[in-house]
């Protein structure tokens, strides 16, 4: 069912307008529920809820959309060390991959047809996992604190890992499987995205309230721009024109012009937090903010999905003016999301 019919009290200033038809499936990880929802993007309704490991944080779908990989991060008391593999068209769990000593898996990025890069905070590594074989193909140490999110260049040659605790980004050569260098970007480096042309890497430094733009070849910072409110994720539109940033403390989404690096607009998500929000990962650190985190832009670049973790909602926004198009119900504490173009079900 749609959130707008179930939870009307959450809406204050939001005006819902009709949204054009998308293609196919949005996968949403529900951290508190230990589940992933497969949401039909035409109806906004979940077609399946599947079990994962403890506290799933991020999701990445394969290039053809057939498989999804979920990182099972674990809870406060017991670190996770596994990946859940899902067959999207069958809406079923295929297998669980044990990462052994590499605990707290988090960020994911597909590299090739059957391999996925995954950060592991517990062991400070970037792993390359063979999804078909269920084995770790490469183990590359970052030697940084809280290696959290990862993004890769379009050619698959380099990976960039954002390290929250070290305030840095680690550049890795995926061909040789070696670390190149660490780039100090700012306190709380977390969100990361590579532009579609591979020309820039954008990093959100949440505690510094800044965004760093890095040249992926020279590995130098070319510019740092301000982004107030605890910027936590960043995503680039497919045409490379705009960057969307979820801002957790302020409860906002912000749009930047990529070429000029100028902030264009920002919009507050006027959602109420759920009653048990204070018991979750962020607790009451951000007050009444719905804490937008997960951020995915649909392939056409017209709309984006934003996971409001403290409101148990997915918000659909226009990528130009951030007008709210729809609200979807999610499970408890939605965060990581990924899109699959597969529509037919087995």
% of the chain beyond a pLDDT of 90: 86
How does pLDDT run across 265-319, given as a tens digit for each residue?
999 999 999 888 888 878 788 889 999 999 999 999 999 999 999 999 999 999 9
| pLDDT on residue 278 | 83
Assign residue 216 the CATH number of its domain: 2.130.10.10
**Mean pLDDT across the stretch 74-99?**
96
Q: What is the pLDDT of residue 10?
A: 42
pLDDT value for 346: 64
- Mean pLDDT lowest among 159-168, 218-227, 326-335, 337-346: 337-346
Answering whether pTM is above 0.85, one says yes
Is residue 8's pLDDT more than 70? no
Q: How far apart are CA 83 and CA 298, in angstroms?
A: 24
Residue 3 has pLDDT above 70, yes or no: no
pLDDT at 342: 83
Query: Token pair of 121, please?
Result: 């905070």
Quick one: pLDDT at residue 4?
43
Q: Which pLDDT does position 16 carry in this prediction?
A: 46
In tens, the pLDDT along 102-153 reads: 999 999 999 988 999 999 999 999 999 999 999 999 999 999 999 999 999 9
Domain total of the chain: 1
In sequence order, what DSSP letters do the residues of 237-290 get, joined into one string?
A: -TTSSEEEEEETTTTEEEEEETTTTEEEEEEE---PPPTTGGGSTTTTTTTT--
Is residue 244 a part of any domain in this protein?
A: yes
Whether 346 maps to a domain, the answer reads no
Tokens of 12: 């204050």
The SS3 of residue 151 is strand
| Residue-range definition of the domain harbouring residue 121 | 3-340
Average pLDDT over residues 91-111: 97
| The pLDDT value given to residue 294 | 98
Q: Quick one: pLDDT at residue 345?
A: 63
Q: What is the mean pLDDT of residues 49-76?
A: 97
Structural contact between residues 212 and 175, judged by C-beta atoms closer than 8 angstroms: no
Helices (H), the chain: 3-6
Which pLDDT does position 281 carry in this prediction? 78
Tell me, what's the pLDDT at 172?
98
d(CA 89, CA 80): 26
Whether residue 7 is contained in a domain is answered as yes
Q: How far apart are CA 284 and CA 269, in angstroms?
A: 17
Instruction: Report the pLDDT value the prediction gives residue 20, as an integer from 0 to 100.
Output: 42
Residue 4 Cα to chain centre, angstroms: 24
The answer to whether residue 93 scores a pLDDT higher than 60 is yes
Q: Is the CB of residue 168 less than 8 Å from the CB of residue 185?
A: yes
């Amino acid at each position: 069912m749609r959130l707008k019919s179930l939870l009307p009290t959450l809406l204050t200033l939001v005006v819902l307008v009709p949204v054009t038809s998308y293609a196919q499936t949005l996968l949403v990880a529900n951290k508190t529920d230990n589940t992933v929802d497969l949401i039909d993007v035409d109806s906004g309704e979940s077609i399946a809820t599947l079990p994962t490991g403890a506290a799933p944080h991020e999701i990445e779908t394969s290039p053809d959309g057939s498989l999804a990989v979920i990182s099972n991060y674990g809870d406060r008391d017991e670190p996770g060390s596994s990946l859940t593999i899902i067959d999207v068209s069958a809406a079923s769990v295929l297998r669980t991959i044990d990462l052994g000593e590499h605990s707290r898996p988090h960020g994911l990025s597909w590299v090739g047809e059957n391999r996925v890069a995954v950060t592991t905070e517990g062991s400070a590594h970037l792993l390359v996992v063979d999804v078909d074989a269920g084995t770790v193909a490469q183990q590359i140490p970052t030697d940084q604190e809280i290696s959290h999110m990862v993004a890769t260049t379009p050619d698959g040659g380099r990976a960039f890992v954002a390290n929250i605790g070290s305030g840095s980004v680690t550049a890795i050569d995926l061909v040789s499987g070696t670390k190149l260098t660490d780039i100090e970007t700012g306190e709380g480096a977390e969100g990361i995205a590579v532009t579609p042309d591979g020309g820039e890497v954008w990093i959100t430094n949440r505690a510094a309230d800044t965004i760093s733009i890095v040249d992926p070849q020279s590995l130098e910072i070319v510019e740092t721009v301000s982004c107030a409110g605890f910027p936590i994720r960043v995503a680039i539109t497919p045409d490379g024109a705009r960057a969307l940033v979820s801002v957790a403390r302020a409860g906002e989404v912000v749009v930047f012009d990529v070429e000029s690096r100028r902030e264009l607009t920002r919009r507050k998500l006027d959602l109420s937090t759920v009653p048990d929000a204070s018991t979750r990962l962020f607790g009451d650190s951000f007050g009444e903010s719905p804490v937008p985190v997960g951020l995915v832009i649909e392939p056409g670049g017209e709309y984006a999905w934003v996971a409001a973790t403290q409101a148990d909602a997915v918000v659909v926004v226009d990528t130009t003016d951030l007008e709210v198009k729809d609200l979807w119900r999610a499970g408890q504490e939605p965060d990581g999301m990924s899109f699959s173009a597969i529509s037919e079900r087995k």
